[in-house]
Amino acid sequence: MTAQFLTEEIRRKKSFLCIGLDTDLDKIPAYLLKEEDPIFAFNKAIIDATHHLCVAYKPNTAFYEAYGIKGWKALERTINYLNEKYPEIFTIADAKRGDIGNTSTRYAKAFFENLGFDSVTIAPYMGKDSVEPFLAFKDKYTILLALTSNMGAFDFQTKQLEDQELYKKVLQTSLTYENSENLMYVVGATKASFLTDIRKIVPQSFLLVPGVGAQGGSLQEVCKYGMSDNVGLLVNSSRGIIYASNQEDFAKAAAKKALELQKEMSEELKNRN
């Protein structure tokens, strides 16, 4: 998928919502545990109920790895289902990988080719030769952790590295990487006021914004400071949507929450774009 197609889908659906599939067997409705693959059963129901309200799904690999082989099978079934049934949806493997050269290529193949995700999240700490192997894949996107939404972001990311804060240096340096047009960035919504500075460095890139809702960010702030001409925003919500109910109506409840966010997004798109 291209970023241009993603923008078209955002305009068509009047939504830049990404739904995080952080599926946890302790949190899903108990009756699903009788299913052969409860994780996939849950994901499928959520996807079928919400696909028209969002433009992206983001499974966090930690939740799947925690269940071993069973988890990986559920991840595989989920991405296959998305690619077959809803090919217009942008898919994000929230894996936060990063290794050197040929090893990064392995991860890239695992997520882009074997699993068939459109994008993967990557940690920048190891620099250029850990990121470029991902960028070499055409029409696949590498979402670099820039400014994350957690407290630990203040340990290093916001500290001054030479002439600028580390996260800005990461943004600036990443633009010199080969095929940097395949980059997107993770930017924590809880720091919306930082978005002005970020947009000076990457005016058009897509930003994946976690942390609206449960983690306390404001959608209006994010849009005010972060929206670009091509929208350039994917705003994620995970638990706030997928665990809206743990009863049999969970998918319907998820759709209701997704609809609330989609409506807000529709307003923002109308007002600002």
Q: Which residues bind a copy of itself (CB under 8 A)?
A: 22, 60, 62-63, 65-69, 72-73, 76, 94, 96-101, 103-104, 106-107, 109-110, 114-115, 123-131, 145, 148-157, 159-162, 166, 169-170, 173
Q: Name the residue nearer to a copy of itself (CB basis): 65 or 249.
A: 65
Q: Name the residue nearer to a copy of itself (CB basis): 10 or 122.
A: 122
Q: Which residues pair with 19 in a beta bridge?
A: 57, 237
For the CB of residue 2, give the shortest distance to a copy of itself in the complex, in Å.
Answer: 25
Tokens of 34: 């009788």
Catalytic residue among 96, 128, 224, 256: 96
- Listed as own residue / partner, the contacts of 149-155 with beta carbons closer than 8 Å and 24 or more positions apart are 149/188, 149/189, 149/190, 149/191, 149/210, 149/211, 149/215, 149/217, 150/188, 153/188, 153/191
Q: Taking each helix axis from N to C terminus, what angle separates 250-272 and 219-226, rounded to the nearest 10 degrees? A: 40
For the CB of residue 213, give the shortest distance to a copy of itself in the complex, in Å.
Answer: 15
What CA–CA distance (Å, rounded) separates 21 from 59?
Answer: 4
Q: Name the residue nearer to a copy of itself (CB basis): 12 or 109.
A: 109
For the CB of residue 217, give the shortest distance to a copy of itself in the complex, in Å.
Answer: 14
CB of 223 closer than 8 Å to CB of 268: yes
96 is catalytic: yes
Q: Name the residue nearer to a copy of itself (CB basis): 44 or 97.
A: 97
Q: Name the residue nearer to a copy of itself (CB basis): 67 or 225.
A: 67
Burial of 166 (0-12, 13-18, 19+ CB in 10 A): buried
Q: Which residues pair with 92 in a beta bridge?
A: 119
Pairing between strand 207-209 and 17-20? Answer: unpaired
For the CB of residue 4, give the shortest distance to a copy of itself in the complex, in Å.
Answer: 29
Q: Which residues pair with 149 in a beta bridge?
A: none
Start-to-end CA span in the chain (Å): 23
CB of 236 closer than 8 Å to CB of 217: no
Q: Name the residue nearer to a copy of itself (CB basis): 42 or 63.
A: 63
Identify the H or E element spanning 102.
helix 101-108
Residues involved in catalysis: 96
